[in-house]
Structure 1
Amino acid sequence: MVQLLPFTSFTARVLGKKIKLISQVTCPTAPLKISGTGNPPFLKTAPAPLNSQLLDVVAGLALCAMMVLHQENLSPFAWIIFEGGTTMMPLMAVNWLNDWPIGLKLNTELSKFCSQTFAVIISSWNYWLHGVLGVAFHGLPYIGLFGASTLSAFAVDVLQVATLHLHMCYIIATTVVYGLRLSTSTLWNLFQGKCYNKLRNRTDKWPYEMDHLVLGTIFFTLVTFLMPTVLIYYVFFFCIDNILHVSFSTFDRYC
């Protein structure tokens, strides 16, 4: 069963490292190593970690100035990328899955219900993001005052929020597949004349009546025909969620 992943704020982590470094420099508990002679003269008297932070701030200021000067052109371009990657492409993919992709004959009514449900979630999240991302895009240049690393971390945090609805769709699809798999396992035990014993944590034989077997046959047939349709949507959101997870984990490794 899938669990909700805790939200990791990369911006808070980067700022925490910067504050920790500043506290170590201002109140050192151990002798600081002086940087080598290869640094410029104005950096020779500063500790090596402080040099990298200074260069990080300079790069952040440069990016900040560039974004402020070209904000009118960058904001629409960034919004098109975010909206296309987090809303339009998933909606197109969901609609494509509803149209019997690659010749797969899915359950028409169930596929229509699944596609409409996921489309409502994606569209609703996109409507909410219009206001949030608008504030984030206007505040993004000023985050560069804290350095290029903080700017990158803030951009990744914004991407996490912008793709949270895709993880939500993955959780819904996984929950449905888990329920269908559990139902299939239970019905298969019914066909074998067995029943799961919770007290002994094992499967024992059980004398079922004829009406139980008939009802179990009907439910097993329904689950068998519904499972492929749900699996298609599950595989789609599973791939998206894993791609995002690998991307965020890669950034987390170098954060």
Structure 2
Amino acid sequence: MVLKIFFPQCCNMADSGLLIGHWLPGQDSAVVLAVVHYPFIPGQVKRYLSQLQNESRVALAVLGSWSMPKDGQEGMESFLKDLSTIFPQGRWLQLSREMGQRGFTCHVVQREGTLLGDEGDKCNGENGDGGRVIFIHYDQRKVMLSQLHTLEAGAGAGAGAGAGATVTGAGPSELRLVFSTVAQSQPLFHTDKYDDGPLKLTHWQSEGREGSIIVELAKQASVPLCLLLTWLLSLWTWLCGIRLLNLQPVRFVSSKLSTCVQLSYRTEHLQTVSSPKKALGHAEFMRKANIFVSFFVDVALGLLLISWLYQENRISLLANTLVPAADHVAQELQELLKWLMGAPAGLKINRALDEVLGRFFLYHIHLWISYIHLMSPFIEMILWYVGLCACLGLTFALSVLSDIVALLTFHIYCFYVYGARLYCLKIYGLSSLWRLFRGKKWNVLRQRVDSCSYDVDQLFIGTLLFTILLFLLPTTALYYLVFTLLRLVVVLFQGLIHLSVDSINSFPLFAMGLRICQPYRLAEGVKFRVLCEEPGKPLHLLMEINPLKFGSVMQWYRTPTYSCYPKDSWAALCKKLFVGELVYPWKHKSTKKTD
């Protein structure tokens, strides 16, 4: 039998006193949490522990005594030994350490009064059952603040679901009990050796409680700010709920604008952050912290963009560049259409249909150029006001850029829709007429192909239509191919913008900062290192925390967003492009997780 004693490193040099801790149920292990310094009154210690029972979820008790002999404290060890009769326990630990030595001396006293590990057993570091006594030293601050994650690969959906760890050589249940015991004993750490009171304790906060006070003051100061933000968001939600804004045309247009989608997304996240409800668990706290830091960095980048745009008259330069660029694109499209109206790449196409389609598209380009020149006097003013939206964040500026690209290339989208509809009509017409030649037809009710008999007139008309569509197909396919490629170029550019916005929204900045600055806060397990192994004394191990890998941090703490993902697989996308169906390769796909 091995008796494991988890001892905090902060108590290695503590003054003599009593050990406060918890015996792990079902385990032959004890977790030392604090040391009560001498002088003390046993009755006060009992009242203090009974008070902690109501505040803490851990059954705290006096585990034994701690002796650190100093000058003027002769007879302290015998005095502490006699306290086992005042604090009756199943086991009473007597730990002592001499100045200048690393190892501890351990005696275990049973409730009946028999001394285990005395003299002969003491030299071998064994208890009376023949088992060894092992001290496992741990950094109480790191254990208190850390969050252990399970090592199983499929556990990413339940971030922060418990302080469990799978460690070779130690059962996961025991480690879970150790970490949960330290975490749930927080009321014990409210008193330390510097407080005015009858009891003086040494624990992990004894040397750094000033930071905790600053955090508490920041929490108190954030309450009125959160209330103000909540009121403003409720007012904004009420304005968005006006019936006029919920009409079908307005809702349809807003759902297609990336700026409106991003605004809705940020509103929802601000409501989450400004909620006065306290985070219930580690996962919810990390989600709020990641959202807050992401929003803060987003706004900071947006303000930097504004400061760059409104210096050296860059808005005017951008407006003066935008109109010539749009004219250049329109002229290139005109040249492309004139090339298609000739003999493109030496292909022999239908002259009449080619002339009709070419003139039809050229007329659209003429309308687009007229529209651009009509709006050119107002473009600088529009860009000046639109640039102000960057104060809401860089993601808003990128969303506005995506919408501007969509508006400036709207004629290319129209060309793609026209060409796709004509091409799709011919493809489905040819496939239907091909079934006619084989004596089959498409059953709309049963959604399958059935056999059918046709008369001579139907076969003649079908053959005539099939021939016409087949010979007109190359001309339509050529226009469809060209404008589909142009549309895919625009979609690819917008997809890169959406990917950038999604990365800023979902990247766990707070979690990554913790992983870099305080890697013990996010851990995936522990490891043990031999700290001291001396003959005649118990074995001393040091428990160290393994930090979570950066990839695992992304998997656990990535903020769910609306995310842009391909709507179809590559095979389905190629099939749609081949038959002429309209494709929208990027869509807003919800990836929200329920806690």
Shift of 1:59: 1.1
Q: State yes or no: 1:76 paired with 2:320.
A: yes
Q: Determine if contact 2:254/2:260 at 8 Å carries over to the other structure.
A: no
Give per-residue Cα distances to partners, 1:78-126, cap 9 Å, x unaligned.
Answer: 21113323x2222221221111111111111111111111121222233
Contact 2:323 2:372 in 1 (8 A): no
1:197 to partner: Cα distance: 4.0
Question: Which shifted more, 10-19 or 58-67?
Answer: 10-19
2:433 maps to which of 182, 187, 199? 187
Change (3 A) 1:238 1:157: same
Question: What's the counterpart of residue 373 of structure 2?
Answer: 130
1:206 aligns with 2:467: no
Question: In the TM superposition, what is the alpha-carbon distance from 1:173 to its structure 2 partner?
Answer: 1.2
Distance in structure 2 (CA, Å) of the matches to 1:23 and 1:156: 26
AA matched with 2:309: C
Q: 2:414 aligns with which of 165, 168, 172?
A: 168
Alignment check: 8 A CA contact 1:64 1:142 kept: no
CA RMSD after TM alignment: 3.1
Distance verdict in 2 for CA 1:221–1:53, change over 3 Å: closer
In the alignment, which of 97, 100, 117 is matched to residue 343 of structure 2? Answer: 100
Paired residue secondary structure (1:66): coil
Change over 3 Å in CA distance of 1:205–1:149 after alignment to 2: closer
Report the Cα distance in structure 2 between the residues aligned to 1:228 and 1:246, rounded to whole angstroms: 26
C-alpha deviation, 1:16, in angstroms = 4.4
- For residues 149-168 of structure 1, the C-alpha deviation after alignment (integer angstroms, 9 at most, x for no partner) is 43333222111111122112
State the 1:183 CA deviation. 1.9
Q: Is the 8 A contact 1:136 1:158 kept in 2?
A: no
In structure 2, C-alpha distance between the alignment counterparts of 1:169 and 1:231, rounded to whole Å? 13
| Inter-CA distance 231–50: structure 2 relative to 1 (3 Å threshold) | closer
Note if contact 1:197-1:204 (Cα within 8 Å) is conserved in structure 2.
no
Q: What letter matches 1:238 in structure 2?
A: T
Aligned amino acid, residue 64 of structure 1 = L
Percent same amino acid among aligned pairs? 21
Q: Deviations over 1:222-243 (max 9, x none)?
A: 1111000000001111111222
1:158-206 C-alpha deviation (Å, 9 max, x unpaired): 1111112211221111111121112212322332333444455423130
Question: Partner residue of 1:9?
Answer: 257
Q: Which amino acid aligns with 1:63?
A: W
1:233 and 1:168 map into 2 onto residues whose CA distance is 13
Q: How far apart are the structure 1 equivalents of 2:314 and 2:440?
A: 69
CA contact (8 A) 2:368 2:411 kept: yes
C-alpha deviation, 1:48, in angstroms: 3.7
Tell me the equivalent position of 1:55: 300
**Counterpart secondary structure, 2:348:** coil
Question: Could you tell me whether the CA contact under 8 Å between 1:196 and 1:202 is conserved in 2?
Answer: yes
> Tell me, what secondary structure is at the counterpart of 2:356?
helix
| Alpha carbons 1:63, 1:141 under 8 Å: kept | no
Structure 1: 5+ residue runs without aligned partners? 36-46
Q: Distance in 2 between matches of 1:6 and 1:125?
A: 23
Between 107-116 and 21-30, the greater mean CA deviation after superposition: 21-30
Secondary structure of residue in 1 paired with 2:424: helix
Match for 2:318: what amino acid?
A: L
**Code of the aligned partner of 1:206:** S
Cα distance in structure 2, aligned partners of 1:73 and 1:6: 30
Counterpart selection for 2:311 from 46, 54, 66: 66
**How far apart in 1 are the matches of 2:405 and 2:500?**
17
More strand by share: 2
Task: Check the 8 A contact 2:440/2:453 in 1, yes or no.
Answer: yes
Correspondence for 1:254 among 491, 500, 506 = 500
Matched, 1:228 2:490: no
CA contact (8 A) 1:173 1:234 kept: yes
> Which is bigger in relative contact order (C-alpha 8 A, separation at least 6)?
1
Rounded to whole Å, the distance in 2 between the matches of 1:169 and 1:28 is 51
Aligned mates of 1:5, 1:102 — CA distance in 2: 40
| Structure-2 separation of matches of 1:56 and 1:122 | 37
Asked if the contact 1:11/1:153 (under 8 Å) is kept, the reply is yes
Q: 1:253 to 1:218 in 2, by over 3 A?
A: same
Shift of the 156–131 alpha-carbon distance from structure 1 to 2, 3 Å rule, reads farther
Distance 2:323 2:416 in 1: 24
Distance across 1 between alignment mates of 2:472 and 2:305 = 52
Q: Distance in 2 between matches of 1:25 and 1:245?
A: 33
Higher mean C-alpha displacement, 8-17 vs 170-179? 8-17
Residue identity in the other structure for 1:247: F
